[in-house]
Amino acid sequence: MSDETIRHEGGCACGAVKVTANGKPRSAGYCHCESCRRWHTAPINAWAAWPGDAVTITQGEDKLVRFDTRDQGGSNVRCECGQCGSGVMNQRHDGMTVVYPSALYGSGFKHEPMVHIHYQERVLDVNDGLPKFADSPAEFGGTGEMIEEPASTGPAV
């Protein structure tokens, strides 16, 4: 199966919003920024990014609630289901769309993380061998500054 024919279909927890991501994501990883931690109420967020035109809301566009983080210094528009509150995706300022792997559960999508981003903001050390960027890689628009691998996984010290 070529990358162009790969389709991952998923949606929110209640089924009101459906999303399709076509092809393989351009990048995937874990985010440690405070904004993601607050939005997902978790110490770390898994993400996968596709070009915006590869992601389609196939049902429930009218059910999506959008939160523009740019109003508070962020860089994207977070989208969640207005019925159940499940986060579905982020529409980024650079034309990429981040779909949360949990929204694609059951579609055969396998999250294959490449990096940790905003690691300088972490509350959880992760020893997994992946590159850890203070903010993000230069090709993502960040400084590209790296942070050393911690000795173990656990609360950040």
State mean pLDDT over 7-19: 95
Q: Which residue's entry shows tokens 């499940």? A: 86
Neighbours of 133 (CB within 10 A): 23
pTM for the whole structure: 0.89
Range of the domain at 83: 3-155
- Look over the chain and give the mean of its residue pLDDT values, rounded to a whole number: 92
Residues 113/25, Cβ–Cβ less than 8 Å: no
Residues 142/133, Cβ–Cβ less than 8 Å: yes
Domain containing 150 — which CATH number?
3.90.1590.10
State mean pLDDT over 92-114: 90
State mean pLDDT over 80-108: 90
pLDDT in tens, 112-148: 999 999 999 999 999 999 999 999 999 988 999 999 9
Report the domain count for the chain. 1
